[in-house]
């Protein structure tokens, strides 16, 4: 999956997927295979939902989790999209075997 890497030093996270751009906080992170795979999983999720609905669902899920957990970190790590990405970013074969809408199994 092709993407355009962008270095953005003020990024609040290490990396972020904004299809077709992959933003990195530092130059060396754009070579980190685990981070790249994590963000490519988000690309797949974004494409499944036709991009804009992904961001809306992501935000809604985060806000619901924020109310539920009263903790930003817990809210973030319990977003269904993040659960899928973190659970599989170490698996180099995951993107090839990933089933469509796999994030639904993590909600």
The answer to which of 63-67, 78-82, 85-89, 102-106 has the lowest mean pLDDT is: 102-106
CA distance 12 to 32: 17
CA distance 53 to 20: 15
| Section 80-102 average pLDDT | 98
**Domain ranges for the chain:** 4-106
| pLDDT at residue 106 tops 90 | no
Round to the nearest angstrom and report the end-to-end CA distance of the chain: 25
> Which of 63, 64, 103, 86 minimizes the C-alpha distance to 14?
86
| pTM for the model | 0.96
Residues 6+ apart with CB under 8 A from 36: 15, 22, 30
pLDDT tier at 96 (50, 70, 90 boundaries)? very high
CA distance 78 to 7: 27
What pLDDT is attached to residue 8? Answer: 98
| Section 67-88 average pLDDT | 98
């Amino acid at each position: 999956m092709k993407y355009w890497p962008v270095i953005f030093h003020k990024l609040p996270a290490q990396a972020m997927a904004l299809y077709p751009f992959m933003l990195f906080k530092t130059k060396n992170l754009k070579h980190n295979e685990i981070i790249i795979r994590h963000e490519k999983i988000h690309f797949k999720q974004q494409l499944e939902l036709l991009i804009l609905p992904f961001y809306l669902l992501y935000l809604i899920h985060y806000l619901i989790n924020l109310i539920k957990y009263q903790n930003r970190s817990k809210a973030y790590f319990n977003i269904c999209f993040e659960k899928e990405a973190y659970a599989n970013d170490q698996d180099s074969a995951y993107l090839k075997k990933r089933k469509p809408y796999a994030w639904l199994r993590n909600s």
